[in-house]
Structure formats: C-alpha cells, structure tokens
Amino acid sequence: MNATADEFGAAADAPSLPVRSDVQPKRPTAGRAVTTRAALLYIAAIAMGSAIAAMQRGDWSVRTTLGPGFEALWGNGVLAVVALLGGGILVGIGTRMAGGCTSGHGLSGCSRFQPGSLVSTATFMAAAVAMTFVLRGLG
C-alpha cells in the first residue's frame, strides 16, 4: 500500500487499515520463484501453441531455418549465427537501457501512463516500422 501511495499519491479520504500486532509479515522464501507445476504448464502451453501454429500452416515438419527472408540476408552459415548472437546481445543492451522489455513497457508501463514507457513504446514501434521498410527494400 505504501508503494502504491508513493506511486499514485494517497487519496484524502482513504481509510486507514488497522494494524494487527499478532500477525508477522511473510518473508520471501528462499529457493525457486516458479513452482514445478507452473514450469510444466508453461512448457505444455509452448507445445500447444506450436501444434496450433503447425495445424494452421498445414505442415507438421520441423523447420531448422528462419525462412527465406532471413537466409537471403544472412545465409545459413556462421554469419547467420553471428547475426542471431549479435541481435540477442543488442536486445539485452536495449532492454537494460530502456529499463524493461517491449512487453513490459507496452502493457504495464503504458497502462499506467508512465512517460518513459510511452516514449519507449513509441520508439520500439517506430524502429519496427522503419526496419520493415528497410528489409522490404532489400528483399
């Protein structure tokens, strides 16, 4: 409640909650933050999503390439691996610089009207549109 009041301000007519002295606050438990059940559900959801995508595509074969567009730009060899590795590093750096990922800014930050998230999301979208035009021009 204190963090919410710090973030949004306390309402003047907000009732104060009684404080119970017999209740000890929960301390964070050491160990895994995600339960085994949640991890298995996540893996099952990935498999189901993949199966749905394969059914929609009408092809159950396993693909080991990223498609003809990627191959036209980077090929299949070492250059492709370097491009993917470099892209992953740049995404990590960008995430650190922007203070979060695209989903976090777009969903959580923008819904709270955080100025940094609004600017970051607008920048992500503009960069994506620009890159689409660049890649279509190269293809």
The residue among 98 and 86 whose pLDDT is bigger is 86
Closest CA to 98 of 118, 126, 81: 118
Q: Count up the domains in the chain and report the number.
A: 1
Q: What is the residue range of 50's domain? A: 33-62
Count of CB atoms situated within 10 Å of the CB of 104? 16
Count of CB atoms situated within 10 Å of the CB of 114? 17
Count of CB atoms situated within 10 Å of the CB of 90? 10
Q: Is residue 92 part of a domain?
A: no
pLDDT for position 82: 92
Q: Is residue 2 part of a domain?
A: no
pLDDT for position 122: 92
pLDDT for position 16: 61
pLDDT for position 23: 61
Retrieve residue 52's tokens: 């749905």
Q: pLDDT tens digits, residue range 16-65?
A: 656 666 666 565 555 667 789 999 999 999 999 989 988 898 888 777 77
Retrieve residue 91's tokens: 């995404």
Retrieve residue 33's tokens: 């933050």
User: What DSSP string runs through 90-105?
Assistant: HHHHHHHHHTS-HHII
Beta carbons within 8 Å of 121's beta carbon, 6+ residues apart: 102, 105, 106, 109, 110
Percent of the chain residues past pLDDT 90, beyond the cut: 18
Q: Is residue 82 part of a domain?
A: no
Q: Is residue 16 part of a domain?
A: no
Retrieve residue 2's tokens: 């204190």
pLDDT for position 46: 93
* Mean pLDDT computed over every residue of the chain: 81
Quickly state the pLDDT bin for 98 (edges 50, 70, 90).
confident
Which region among 23-27, 91-95, 129-133 has the lowest average model confidence (pLDDT)?
Answer: 23-27
Q: Is residue 6 part of a domain?
A: no
